[in-house]
């Protein structure tokens, strides 16, 4: 059976730079074989930190100090350690978007944090609703965790105005912000929005990046950028003796050759895939569904008619080889919602064009009526 796997957010395998990566690995072993006999320590490989600091600096137009950066075993480790360092006891509150990354939901609930969801619209987290919620909450949350660009799962990007409002509001309430920007360089259309640390330097801002999305998740490398005292507080919580030095040394060799080339190649292909997906959805589902138009990242958020039987849709789609992620997996309260997330990064072109008609057929068969879409927008007020 042909499989149409839109479930997992992975990079595009066709643009994996195998030859250049092989050359980088040989150089790394020649040059750094001796260092591989030692534990890397809390911050990790200096060369890669310098390159990632340069990358951040070039993107954001501000100086980034590699001494304030620690490599992590994927950005997921940074997300978890930041949560642990900022909380004081189980039951503490963290603000997130109502829909957020399922891994973060699991990690934060796993360490005892309670998530308070703030609705998102096309401009990102609704700061007006956040302000209202902060007034209503019986206790002060410990921090705000936000996916500012190419949000997982909705694909939306927080506008410049909202970023400024978020920074001001957090400062007024003395709340740290954890900005998870792991898709920051997976940008393929329009202007890039500045990161929060570039808009307003603030020691309460913690920033997280990843090599999983700009390179490949198998290298398991991400990084955290923070200032004193949070930087030390977070790094001191790790007890894993540091991140994979070998992978970091190879990536440092790889990026020394060309810091942006691979990303530019990969993003051009992602844009093509996004456009194929948008075109396929337009021709198969335009009368009954509505969806986001991501300008970066790996995901598209699709709203289904309310009369779709979601349990039946999941079973029928799987029977036909079509896999997607269910909206409820990203809802902070696990609420059943008529949304699905389509991850298009690693799906071959032909599977996009052939797969979406399969999804459309499954949706049609799981509806209780023939009515057209009952909504005019992706997000409710
Ligand atoms: C928003 C977000 N943060 C963090 C991660 C974790 O990525 P990694 O640990 O591979 O860097 C993901 C992965 O999908 C993600 O979507």
Residues 6+ apart with CB under 8 A from 264: none
- Is the Cβ atom of 157 under 6 angstroms away from ligand 1? no
| pLDDT digits 0-9 by tens, 212-262 | 999 999 999 999 999 999 999 999 999 999 999 999 999 999 999 999 999
- Pair of tokens at residue 151: 């949000």
pLDDT tens, position by position, 317-360: 999 999 999 999 999 999 999 999 999 999 999 999 999 999 99
Share of the chain above pLDDT 90, in %: 96
For residue 76, how far is its CA from the centre of ligand 1 (angstroms)?
A: 6
Residues carrying CATH 3.40.640.10, the chain: 18-257
| 257 Cβ contact list (under 8 Å, min separation 6) | 20, 24
209 lines ligand 1 (CB under 6 A): no
Cβ of 60 closer than 6 Å to ligand 1, yes or no, is no
User: With a threshold of 0.85, does the pTM exceed it?
Assistant: yes
Q: How far is the CA of 19 from the centre of ligand 1 (A)?
A: 26
Fold of 4-14+262-365: 3.90.1150
3-class SS at 164? Answer: helix
Which of 78, 182, 341 maximizes ligand 1 atoms within 8 Å of its Cβ, making it the mutation to test the pocket? 182
Distance 361 CA to ligand 1 centre (A): 31
Give strand pairing partners of 36: none
pLDDT tens-digit series, residues 88-108: 999 999 999 999 999 999 999
Whether the CB of 327 sits within 6 Å of ligand 1: no
Topology of domain 18-257 in CATH is 3.40.640
Say yes or no: CB of residue 342 within 6 Å of ligand 1. no
Q: Where in the chain is the domain with CATH 3.90.1150.10?
A: 4-14+262-365
* Closest alpha carbon to 182 in 52, 340, 363, 40: 52
């Amino acid at each position: 059976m042909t499989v149409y796997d839109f479930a997992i957010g992975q990079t595009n395998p066709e643009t994996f730079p195998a030859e250049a990566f092989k050359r980088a690995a040989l150089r790394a072993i020649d040059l750094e074989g001796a260092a591989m006999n030692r534990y890397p320590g809390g911050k990790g490989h200096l060369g890669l930190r310098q390159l990632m600091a340069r990358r951040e600096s070039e993107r954001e137009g501000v100086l980034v100090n590699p001494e304030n950066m620690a490599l992590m075993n994927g950005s997921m480790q940074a997300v978890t350690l930041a949560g642990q360092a900022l909380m004081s006891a189980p039951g503490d509150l963290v603000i997130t978007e109502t829909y957020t990354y399922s891994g973060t939901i699991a990690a934060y609930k796993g360490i005892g944090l309670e998530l308070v969801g703030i609705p998102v619209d096309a401009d990102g987290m609704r700061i007006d609703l956040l302000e209202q919620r902060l007034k209503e909450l019986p206790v002060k949350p410990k921090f705000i965790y936000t996916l500012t660009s190419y949000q997982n799962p909705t694909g939306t990007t927080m506008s410049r105005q909202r970023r400024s409002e978020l920074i001001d509001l957090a400062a007024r309430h003395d709340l740290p912000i954890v900005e998870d920007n792991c898709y920051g360089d997976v940008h393929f259309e329009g202007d890039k929005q500045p990161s929060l640390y570039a808009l307003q330097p603030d020691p309460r801002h913690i920033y997280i990046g990843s090599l999983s999305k700009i390179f490949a998740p198998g290298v398991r490398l991400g990084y955290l950028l923070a200032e004193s005292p949070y930087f030390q507080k977070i790094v001191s919580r790790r007890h894993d003796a540091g991140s994979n030095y070998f992978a970091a040394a190879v990536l440092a060799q790889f990026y020394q050759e060309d810091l942006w080339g691979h990303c530019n190649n990969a993003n051009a292909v992602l844009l093509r895939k996004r456009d194929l997906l948008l075109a396929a959805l337009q021709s198969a589902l335009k009368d009954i569904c509505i969806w986001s138009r991501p300008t970066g990242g790996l995901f598209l958020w699709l709203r289904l008619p309310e009369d779709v039987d979601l349990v039946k849709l999941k079973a029928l789609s799987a029977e036909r080889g079509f896999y997607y992620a269910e909206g409820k997996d990203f809802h902070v309260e696990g609420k059943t919602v008529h949304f699905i997330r389509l991850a298009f990064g690693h799906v071959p072109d032909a599977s996009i064009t052939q797969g979406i008609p399969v999804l459309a057929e499954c949706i049609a068969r799981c509806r209780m009526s023939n009515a057209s879409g009952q909504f005019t927008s992706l997000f409710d007020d």
